[in-house]
Structure 1
């Protein structure tokens, strides 16, 4: 919530608020003039998700004979894995990864090969965990207890989460992502003799926040070997997840995602947006928690992994904002009846029964423009 307030307060100091004021610019909470794509542009960018393309998450669960799509699609996936072609794996992932191939395909896309040196690095980090306690360890313990341990899908992975997150907090290789991140790592001071030295603390430069462990939890379904799980998570974090809690102008950054979500609703569901705004239930206040976690902990795991397939396939978090808007569109009829923020939140409290790909497809390709 506090982070959302920061995003809402962002303004461009070079822009006069009187300039270029359109009807809906004051409707939404995010007032930063960033360029975000509308539905025609999204259709072009996400053409593989169109109604004419076979999709895992739709065509494998409908009453369609597997010979018509699924079997041949799995064969292509097997070939991609055998070829060890990262670019092909990324392209393939755009239409979803078969459950049996997902772990290998994601590792290919992320170029995470888990070589002997990677395993050694993980063992060194583990030794560091055993040797030294850090203050942030308590934050990790608390977060896992409050989130994953209480989740029907993820409570069994509690030990895995500790293994990954405690090592992650000590991994100085994570600092590399600050080269392309607008944030700066937090600093601390240590006394060496009589001299004070500035050090990054925690060593990886990332202070875990509430829900942080949910970035790792879904990956536990794919990787049962701790060093592999660790390397995949680290790659996912330094490519994607850090953008969900740092301010930037990136199209995958949380500011752009919030703006994109609001614009999509304002443009295609203006009555709903206006109604929710009037009753004090700004849509972003409800959807923000979904987007910050990339829907982890809100969707059922199989659906979440289908969503993350597309994040990896398109190398973008944009689809997260699209799904958030699609959820509102799906529940629009009920939301038009609500009269308070609490009742709007109640309508959207349980997303575990939702099917990701039909929602995204209908919103992107069956919405009148």
Structure 2
């Protein structure tokens, strides 16, 4: 924040988001329960409750939640949701046009193959999928009929055609203007700024996990990272991880940096998403299955995570059909396509975040070695 005028709205926005979280209800419950403790005095009620929350670790959880909110892009509370996702208008128009092409291709595939976009699975299929949920990689369905929704060349042509209408390229026409196929003016850091932002990656600085043989203070670094995990401080975890993570602490440090916890409500939410996948059969699931089968299963590094990729990709994907399909469909999707199935959790959809999601949602934490 550059000046003090943005301070109050930003704080109010963070407070508003935290008030609707599960952490807020937990803090209220803990504060009410501690009123019956003998060390809580009426004359110093506020200070005693704060001291109890601090001693019991709830203050640290609140600090981690606030730190996580501060890492998110700050915007005005009245900003529309589509502007939060993409602030540039010409980018939103290009995205909408590309989405229409993808949806048209998806609808055409559904018509050609005679496969519905969504249907309720029969009881037998639900039982079979539930039994092999942890070993979906062993299943070999015939996916030869399902073609890609778009060709990489088509997507490249869309990227090449992107132009900012507010940018006059004739003003700074140089030799560099013809470098690259994608001519989109974006504000990026120059080399000095990158060196300053990523100073920890300087060749003169050692990195844990890479330069362990040359790191004299390896034992000290290990103890320091272990103390960060014990303190459960997200800001400290992110700061110390810039110099690398010890192999045995990577899972804990990454989960702490993302403030990703394994609470009972998280497990319950995952079970709800899993139940939605088991109950409803989507055309998109076949495309995801084929994509993972052709990529991860043939990769030397990711093939061991094939089953986890299926599970997390099926349960955390966003809806690919816009609301218009709810009106034009003869069978309303609201009855067979529950919104709960597509509510994204906090761990994202990239492979790295899928692995972290596997780790934090797995009770036995067998995935810890991959970090």
> Structure 2 length normalisation: TM-score?
0.49
Bigger Rg over Cα: 2
> Structure 1 length normalisation: TM-score?
0.49
Compare relative contact order (CA 8 Å, sep 6+) and give the higher one, 1 or 2: 1
